[in-house]
Structure 1
Amino acid sequence: MPSLKQFQYFVRIVELGSMTRAAEQLHVAQPALGAQVRQLEEELGTPLLRRHSRGVAVTAAGQVLYERAQQIVELVAETTREMAAFQTSQQETIRLGLSPSVVHLAAADMLVRAHATMPNVSLRLVEEPSLVLFDALKRGELDMLLAHEIPDSPGVTRTPWLREKLLFATASPPDAQPMVRSSRDIVDTISLAEALETDLALPLRRDGVRRIIETAAEPLKIKPRIAFQVQSPQALKILIVDQRIASILPYGLAFPELRTGALVARRIVAPALERTLFCARTDRRLSAANEVALAELLDSVRLRLFDLLGTLATPIDSGWINLPSHLS
């Protein structure tokens, strides 16, 4: 009879397509992992994997086993969590990754709500750029993330939440007064062509915002005038203020400085630059009661983001209820 460990090993091998990478992630010696697969094939009486120069691929029988093994592994994990929920002192942990702009807009409110509504859940927040969070999610170091431009990937369920318009940000004139109390106060516009022909400080090339900018510039046949490349969001904003240079930023990243008057922003038009915010998570689930509380928490976070972003946000799921009035 195959063991749960063998099913777990087999699922990870298929997801990664490589015995070597699976052995590294499972912290198992590769020969021992191979022996487990051979034993599984012998017990089931059929080949499950085909080896090739780039790794492994499943046979027809292996694909059936992979689908069944996924269900078995998740069912065992869910059962274990639900049994643990009967212990009132049992704490569950969810490791949640947030991109920097989501942290600025929603992290404090999320932590307060989680503490009040999910007393048996320890919510651990990790702030990193979106692609760094996505890599951590795939490695199993995070359970869930709220981040931008997340690609489709095996073992990850992603749900698009909203489309968000980016802003053209510059340092405020010396005599300017703080005017931005909310995103609705940002009404001035600048064409994308004019923005691209301004000296800019931008993130490095791997950054999602940078890729959006360069992709949008191609049809206009304009090469962005990049004066500085900075990966740190805080360093980027300091550079804008100190060097009187411009940048293209999300509202969530710029709004502390917009409210104090250190930065001013304009909406980019013709065309607008937009990015997509996703909620993505692995197959790991909390106990049933905490899953319900988590869903309610995420709904409240989504509502808060729509409210703060105002007309800078466009809902993707038009059937989602409880939208702010300006999006209803």
Structure 2
Amino acid sequence: MRLNKKRALITISATVVGIGIVGLAYYKYMNNKETVKPQLKLVALGDSLTEGMGDSTKQGGYTQRLAKLINNKLVVPTKVLNYGNSGDRSDQINQHLTNSTQQQIAIKKADAIIMTVGGDDLIQKIGGSVLDRSAKELTQAIKASEPEYTAKLTKLMQSIRRYNKTAPIFVFGNYNPLYVYFANLQSINTSVIAYNNINKKIVKKYHGYYVSTFKQLTFGQYQSALAKQKLLQEANASSVEGVVKTLHENKITDEKNAYIAKSDHFHPNSKGYNYMTKKLYATMIKHKATWLYEK
């Protein structure tokens, strides 16, 4: 009889302890439960890729696509203020921010900041001579320009952080839209990758995240080794001057890369912007604690 009472007391004690542990866990859960913000405010800075050039569907490039995707996936009303301006280099993006009270206020209120940068800085350095220089000359020129671009991008990041110290910054990498026509000019890819590495390094330093689109937008549908080899053979068999002239005079009515706009053979088309949006959203979701929840 005494043994049964002892067992009963042990069972009751264990039950009480168990209830206490569950209760404590529930209490902690309820008090640490993250609350999704009722509305999201995103700000996009950058060049023509942020402006949405090449998007024949008139959806505003990746910015409006992102707002719709977040709204649909997370059921959170999302507004994106787009300050993208075609042709802007990193220093010009910074100048616009420094001179615009409107942009400064938007940055202050932003839950996240998104940016495309570096493409026009690179174009300025290699310009129309990219196809005239040897691989060695081009590589040396880009290498020499890296400290200057690093300084300009750093200054831009500092300006953003002056107005908003906590919102995550998501920076896209760039791509080579000419690859499908000049697969034999590997130096162009090398140059783009060099600037992308700077984007990756600097955004991390300022508590942000890098979004890579190089592989898909550069190689398009030609992802296999066999497909790339075919492009290389075609490029070797073609006259560089002839292809350049044809592209410049817009005599090619289609585009070899399924992700690039046939209107200019440079900017993403609708499919390209869909891909950019998908990659950006995936990166943002991985770091959702930095922008989605109430603090």
Max Rg structure: 2
Structure number with the higher strand fraction is 1
Structure number with the higher helix fraction is 2
State TM-score, norm by structure 1: 0.27
